[in-house]
Structure 1
Amino acid sequence: MSMITIDILKKLKESEDKVEFKKGEGGNISYDGGSKLKPSDRRRCILGYVTALCNEEGGCLVIGMSDNYPHEVIGTNQNLDSIGELESTIYRDTGIRPKVFELYENQKRVLVIEVPSRPAGKVFKFEDVALMRVGEELKPMSDAVYLKIIQEQEPDFSQQYCEGLSVTDLDEKAISILKEKYALKQNNPNFKRLSNEQLLSDLDLLKNGKLTNAALILLAKKEVLNEKLPQAAVMLEYRNAENQISFDNRIPFSEPFFILIDQLWNTINLRNGSFPIQDGAYIFNIPFFNEAVIRESINNAITHRDYRRTSEIVVKQFPQRLDILNAGGFPSGVNLENLLKTPSTPRNRLLADVLQKTGIVERSGQGVDKIFYNTLIEGKAEPDYSKSDYFQVNLKLSAVIEDRAFALFIVAVQEGLPETEKLSVLEVITLNMIKKNAAKRDLDFEIVSKLLEKKLIEKRGKTNAIYYILSKDYYEFTDEKAKYYNLQELDESQVLTRVLQFLSKESRAKMKDFVGLFEDKLSRKQVRFRIEKFVTNKILKQEGEGSSSVYEIGENFINEIEVISEALSLGLKQLEKNNTKKNVMARKRPEKDQ
């Protein structure tokens, strides 16, 4: 909860301190403007003020206090017993994550909606209008302010000087680890003999005699880091069940990064299990939590988080799932759709550069690739970023192996390919999408072409009904070869068999019924062509025209089937008679021989 108190609120000034006071005596502040006709009147609602305050880089909407200075407590019933619901509906309707809480003075209730600052370059709107506060009014943002905001670049927090931080405030063990890793990555043992000042200067952690925030986060002693940047801590919470709200154990990690990262992984690994996977006589174990994935996810969180926000990184560990939440949304230009295709610009460039030069991360922007690749090749579900927004990144990692065969298939493929042709992360993701029957329009044509060349997928269907399946090798790992052959393109006799099976149960059908029968295999045009051919050959009978046409099995075809059935019946009877005669003759023959 926020550190705001009623005594602090009484002394705040609306414009200077970015606070909006409303009496709301009867709980009468409209949520969204309600039935008011004029846009200027509708804006004076909870959503309007939240939007404007967010655009002003954060602030508070206070309901239940007078707007005259010093602000007197009036008391309000606004959203009494529903503050959790208010918080979630504001987030649903605006994408802004507020904190809503109550304060009391002499039994009088005050409702505070604490609004976070907008991310750099992002403007929020109410009813498609970007709002700003002007005196007592909420007005459309001026063009000059709007342009200034959308052209903003996020400052590199890690590059800024950390006032008052000295070399003696740094942890010797953390510096020693940094030297080791730097020397190893650069293949130069002499780096280990550099003085601390020289090393820090070479890595731009020390500039003009001043240490940066990156030096603080990576190397500062625990007590110094806690004092100067407490939000740099990582909280590890363990819960025995995924639907559990309160944690069973909570461990804070507030050491410098070069010490923290190993301690954090080792603690997570204490509760790590594994799944045994068998391929013939060979058994290998896939851990619930892959070390490379977890380390990379935490490295990403530390590199990309917004250190101006006061919340820590939180790692929630469950027996078979792990969530990582960090403050600040995706870096500029990155969203859920382009997460893997757009090279990300780290929010803390200097921090990222040091981690790259010391081999902690491979190169900037590649972390998410690694997370996806290492997760999918173990047959687990894709990493889930869907709960992320402009204010936080929320990554969910499942420990459960959904498809053992896919893991074996990818391992076998990679082992059989030369180094220069190994599967990329996007190729593995595309294989996973094809396995899940993704539509052709959702696949990258260039990647699909490469996979066809490598004979890892096969094309089925024609024109609009083209679809792809994994190669026969995958179905051999699943022990479902029959399923592979079932996915082969349908020939005319297979289409007819399915149509007749349907009509034998339903007796009559429309064209849309037939299209539904083959929606995953044939286009509407291909189905219509075959049905019309069956009508021409009098296998099917058509009544009506156009969309009102109804089809049933043709009388000629029924007659033919009856003739064939009768012939088969006669044939079987004759066969039975012949067999009986042969058996009688066979029994008589030995008597003659005697």
Structure 2
Amino acid sequence: MVSELLASLLAAAEGATVEFKEAKRGLERKDLFRYCIALANERGGKLVLGVADAMPRQVVGTTAFGDLDDARNAIYQATRLNVEIVEDLSTGSRVLIFLVPSRPIGTPLESDGQYLMRRGSSLVPMTPDRLQAIFAESVPDFSAEICSEVTLADLSPQAIETFRQLWARQSNRPHLLDLPDQQLLEDAELLVDSGVTRAALILLGTAKSLSRHVADAEIIFEYRHAEGDIDPAVRESFREGLFLYVNRLWALVNLRNEVHPYQMGLVRRDIPSFREEVIREALLNGVCHRDYRYRESIFVRQFPGLIEVESPGGLLPGVTIENMLFKRAWRNRLIAEALEKADLIERSGQGVDRMWRLAILDGKMPPDYSRTDEHHVYVRLPGTIHDPALLRFLEEVGAERYRTFSAMDFAVLHFVSQEQEIPKDFRGRANGLVDQGILERVGRKFIFARRYYEMRGEAGVHTRKRGLDRETNLFLVRNHLRSCGGKGCVLAELQPVLPHVKPRMLSSYLEELKRRGQARVIGKTKGARWYHLVGNDG
């Protein structure tokens, strides 16, 4: 007689909570882990092995995972999920039912750097919208809360008009210009049932109303002549609606914005230390992502050749310094939505991408988040040209080509220029740049195409990084064996001949010479001696 649990599963449609796999001869462990993660990301479910996935359900049995305790432990080690496994023999055939719990609230699970979900019978990466919704589960939207003591009179008519003009222009909806203020803000969801949201206050409030209700929602600008200076030469506080001061803040930065002349051939252009769009992105990211529960202000600190933005509250769950180029999350969604309507940001989360892209195109170091901790996010924006050769190289590549580059492509170029290891999540982009002739692959590493090193006056560096071709290396090894005569040599004595070649590769060269009849070996250990075979230099 079929068990109650199995009977209920056989009657269920494969969908949100159940996944059926025949797995007659077994299932790869990696696939098991991936399905557990996908089901957990969908708030939990059941994976059934030994049942056909077509209706009507047929029990076919499975030989997968004979040691269930071992399977449980393996799942936990790989996913940190406590999955219960039921072995059902009620039909006379063996069926395994994996009871997968939900992921933690606000935390999606990943496998090999991918947040997985199911689509039909396949596993696919989660969409950005799905991820954002998960990240938002554990982070209440402070900006959507209603300020019970605030009225429409606490908002600045000038700020409302600025918002109106920007929204009408961005959306191509001229009728917004004629709406009453209350209707405009209700349409933008900044007013809800006539109640003023914190987002409305932070973006549109008068100085008096912010001081009274959200005094910490301010930005403090400081300029110092050197990073070591204790007291700022200039200090100004902005405690009013963002739309009232965002342009004034940029004007303060721009007063001391040096320009770097750059020339390529007959074309000359000026590169500012700080681009307005980059500074605006860093500032607005702080406003959108800061934690307003912290009784602290956002600081914008400017030095010659450097700007630092410090905002209260650490990174959101699931977002790290390493993955912020492609992970999306919002702490204050309503603020982000309003700024998107005004065309000041893209709510899809492209701000960090844009800062990276513009920095690399200007030959500068990318945004540096390394000082970020669990209570503050720091981003440092270098303003000096660090790699003019990369800047010139990209000019030669041409705007039409690099416009198609993603921020991850530009990140790969930065990693290669700094001789850093390319992270796993970026290696696919590196291979794409190889296909375009921008990079070259040498073993497991990537280097620039030769033209880049020629621009630096370091063509020899390319030759060294690229290494000699295999036949040249074989020729050098054979010559060394010839010079050793009847004494021969051991593997270690060949290392100085090709100092950049690893011992394993040297061994492969010797074996190749042996196969060609150009060398022989006596012994089998590291002390084995290799000899040149006279008369076999063909």
Deviations 1:106-128 (A, max 9, x none): xxxxxxxxxxxxxx979xxxxxx
Instruction: Give the SS at the match of 1:407.
Output: helix
Q: Does 1:391 align with 2:375?
A: yes
SS in 2 for 1:396: strand
For the pair 1:432 / 2:414, whether they are aligned, the reply is: yes
Query: In structure 1, what residue type is equivalent to 2:155?
Result: L
Cα distance, 1:190 vs. partner? Answer: 2.2
Asked whether the 8 Å contact 1:346–1:364 carries over to 2, the reply is no
CA displacement at 1:248 relative to structure 2: 2.9
Distance 1:270 1:502 in 2: 65
Aligned pairs for 1:349-428 within 5 A: 349-417=333-401, 422-428=404-410
Which residue among 496, 499, 507 is the counterpart of 1:528? 507
Q: 1:239 aligns with which of 224, 241, 246?
A: 224
Structure 1 position 194, deviation (Å):
1.3
Instruction: Find the counterpart in structure 2 of residue 197 from structure 1.
Output: 182
**Aligned mate of 1:490, from 463, 468, 479:** 468
Distance in 2, matches of 1:248 and 1:211, equals: 38
Query: What amino acid is aligned across from residue 202 of structure 1 in structure 2?
Result: D
1:516–1:401 Cα change, 3 Å = farther
Look up the equivalent residue of 1:354 and give its one-letter code: A
Separation in 2 of the partners of 1:550 and 1:261?
Answer: 74
Q: Mapping of 1:252-331 within 5 angstroms?
A: 252-331=237-316
Q: Secondary structure at the match of 1:231?
A: coil
Residue of 451, 469, 474 corresponding to 2:433: 451
Letter in 2 for 1:391: H
The 2-side partners of 1:513 and 1:436 are apart by: 33
After TM superposition, list the pairs within 5 Å mapping 1:82-121 onto structure 2: none
Which residue is equivalent to 1:546? 525
Q: Is contact 1:356–1:364 with CA below 8 Å preserved after alignment?
A: no
Q: 1:219 aligns with which of 201, 204, 212?
A: 204
3-state SS in 1 of match to 2:260 = strand
Higher mean C-alpha displacement, 394-403 vs 204-213: 394-403
Corresponding position of 1:167: 152
Aligned-pair Cα RMSD in Å: 3.6
What residue identity is the alignment partner of 1:337?
E
Corresponding residue number in structure 1 for 2:234: 249
Residue 469 of structure 1 pairs with residue 447 of structure 2? yes
1:113 is matched with which residue? none
The CA deviation string for residues 44-84 of structure 1, in whole angstroms up to 9 with x for no partner, is xxxxxxxxxxxxxxxxxxxxxxxxxxxxxxxxxxxxxxxxx
Deviation of the 1:345 alpha carbon: 1.9
Q: Which TM-score applies when normalising by structure 1?
A: 0.60
Pick closer, same or farther for the CA change 1:160–1:510 going to 2, 3 Å. Answer: farther
**Change over 3 Å in CA distance of 1:200–1:284 after alignment to 2:** same
Q: 1:47 is matched with which residue?
A: none
Shift of the 418–273 alpha-carbon distance from structure 1 to 2, 3 Å rule, reads closer
CA distance in 1 between counterparts of 2:253 and 2:383 reads 13
- Contact 1:330 1:393 (C-alpha < 8 Å) held by counterparts: yes
Give aligned-pair identity as a percent. 30
**Aligned-pair CA distance for 1:312:** 0.3
The answer to whether the 8 A contact 1:353-1:364 is kept is no
Partner of 2:96 in structure 1? none
In structure 1, distance between residues paired with 2:306 and 2:176: 40
Structure 1: give runs of 5+ residues left out of the alignment. 1-119, 123-149, 558-594
Q: Is the 8 A contact 1:409 1:477 kept in 2?
A: yes
Per-residue deviation, 1:538 = 12
CA distance in 1, matches of 2:493, 2:251: 58
Q: CA deviation at 1:393?
A: 0.5
**1:209 equivalent in structure 2:** 194
Deviates more, 1:449-458 or 1:511-520: 511-520
Match for residue 66 of structure 2?
none
CA distance in 2, matches of 1:205, 1:517: 72
Q: Distance in 1 between matches of 2:264 and 2:359?
A: 19
Query: Match of 2:355, SS?
Result: helix
Instruction: Name the CA shift for 1:168/1:517 in 2 (closer, same or farther; >3 Å).
Output: farther
Task: Please give the secondary structure, in 1, of the residue aligned with 2:216.
Answer: helix
- Within 5 Å, which residues of 2 pair with 1:122-161? 153-161=138-146
Q: Deviations over 1:269-317 (max 9, x none)?
A: 1111021111011111111112111110001000000001001001111
Whether the 8 Å CA contact 2:394–2:402 is kept in 1: the answer is no
| Aligned partners of 1:273 and 1:288 also within 8 Å | yes
Question: Structure 2: 5+ residue runs without aligned partners?
Answer: 1-104, 108-134
The amino acid across from 2:249 in the alignment is L
Change (3 A) 1:315 1:499: farther
Residue matched to 1:45: none
CA distance in 2, matches of 1:360, 1:338: 23
- Superposed displacement of residue 467, structure 1: 2.7
Contact 2:313 2:376 in 1 (8 A): yes
State the 1:231 CA deviation: 1.0
Query: What is the SS of the residue equivalent to 1:258?
Result: helix
Q: Is the 8 A contact 1:316 1:324 kept in 2?
A: yes
Q: By how many angstroms is 1:450 displaced?
A: 2.1
Post-superposition offset of 1:529: 2.2
Q: Is contact 1:414-1:423 (8 Å) kept? A: no
Cα distance in 2 for residues equivalent to 1:275 and 1:509: 57
- Greater mean alpha carbon deviation, residues 285-294 or residues 444-453: 444-453
